Structures are given as C-alpha cells and as structure tokens.
C-alpha cells in the first residue's frame, strides 16, 4: 500500500474551504439567520494613556445618561448625549475652544453611545479632532485606582 505525501497547507485549505460550504448555505438560505450588524468605526479610538501624553488641550465629553454623569464624571467633562442633544449642545459649545482635541466616553467597551455622539459631533459641528476613549468610564476609573 502506497501513501501519498501529506501537505499541511493543503489539509488546512481543504478544511477551510469545506467550512465555507455550510457557512455560505446557512447565510444564504437559513430562514432565521442571525442579524448581520456592521457599524463602521468612523471615529478613532484612543487609550487613556495616550490622552494623558497629549500636549494639546482636551475637552472631555461624557456621552452617558444624565444620572450617571451626576454621580461622577471625568473632571471638566461636559455632558452631551443623544437623548438630550438639543438641550445639552449649548453647554458643549460654551466649553469648546478651537484647537482642542475632543475625547468622548461612555460607560465601558460595550457601549456605543460615545461612538454615536462622536460621529454626530463631526457630522453636525465638525469641531476638529474627535476621539472615542477606549474602555470608557470604566477605563478612567481603573486608572484612578
């Protein structure tokens, strides 16, 4: 009995392609296929460590709900969320100065309010550099411990 020499890349490719068949059929035909959600990360994320190293002035924007902001927030942060956008916008504009870098945060890595507020700021006001804090308020709190 003769054995053909086996090739690892060929084996891997074989199984990879094999997996595409049921995956493709499921995605195409399954009546209850999972929702496909893709949100474009239009706003750049920054680590807290990077923000602390910036020499440019920073305007912190708290995108959480008012109750969470009232309990605690980043010192100097202005409250701006989409629930009360029109009411809160004057407060943001009062604090804004040209040349500031704006860093928006929400609760944690799992929230998307900061992304949405940052995108809306860019779209409606285009106030300069807008970033989203990676890890949000949780990251800030951890850094303070």
Partner 1 sequence: MTPSLGLTLHRGTGGPGRHRPSAAFAKDPPTGTKQALRWLSIFGQIARYLKAILSAFFATGDPPTLQQEMNYPAANSPGPIRWSKVMVFAVLLFPSLGWGALTWENQKVELTARLGDKEAVGLFPFKNTGQAAVTITDIHTSCECTVAELPKRTYAAGETGVIRAVFTLGDRMGPQDRLVTVTTNDPTAPQTMLTLRVDIPDRLSYSSRMLHWSVGGSGEAKTVEISAIAGNRLTAIEVREIAPKQATARIDVIEAGRKYRLIIQPSRLDGPWTIAVTCVAKFEDGGQHSLLVYALVR
Alpha-carbon Rg for the chain in angstroms: 23
* 138 near partner 1, rule: CB under 8 A: no
* 70 in Cβ contact with 100 (< 8 Å): no
Q: Restricting to residues 5-24, which ones interact with partner 1 according to CB under 8 A?
A: 6, 8, 11-12, 14-15, 18
> Can you tell me the distance from the alpha carbon of 139 to that of 108, in angstroms, rounded to the nearest whole number?
7
* 1 near partner 1, rule: CB under 8 A: yes
CB of 145 to partner 1, least distance (A): 24
User: Is 56 strand, coil or helix?
Assistant: coil
Choice between 21 and 52, CB closer to partner 1: 21
> Can you tell me the distance from the alpha carbon of 66 to that of 94, in angstroms, rounded to the nearest whole number?
18
The enclosing H or E element of 78 equals strand 78-79
| Residue of 49, 84, 109, 142 interacting with partner 1 (CB under 8 A) | 84
Which positions lie near partner 1, rule CB under 8 A? 1, 3, 6, 8, 11-12, 14-15, 18, 32, 34-35, 37, 39, 64-65, 68, 81-87, 89-90, 93-94, 96-98, 107, 110-113, 116, 124-127
């Amino acid at each position: 009995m003769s054995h053909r020499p086996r090739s690892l890349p060929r084996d891997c490719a074989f199984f990879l392609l094999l997996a595409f068949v049921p995956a493709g059929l499921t995605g195409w035909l399954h009546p209850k296929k999972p929702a496909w959600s893709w949100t474009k990360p239009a706003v750049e994320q920054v680590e807290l460590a990077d923000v602390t190293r910036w020499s440019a002035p920073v305007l912190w924007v708290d995108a959480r709900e008012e109750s969470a902001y009232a309990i605690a927030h980043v010192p100097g942060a202005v409250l701006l969320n989409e629930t009360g956008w029109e009411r809160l916008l004057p407060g943001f504009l009062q604090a804004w100065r040209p040349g500031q870098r704006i860093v928006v945060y929400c609760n944690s890595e799992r929230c998307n309010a900061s992304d949405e507020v940052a995108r809306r700021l860019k779209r409606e006001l285009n106030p300069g550099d807008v970033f989203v804090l990676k890890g949000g308020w949780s990251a800030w709190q951890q850094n303070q411990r």
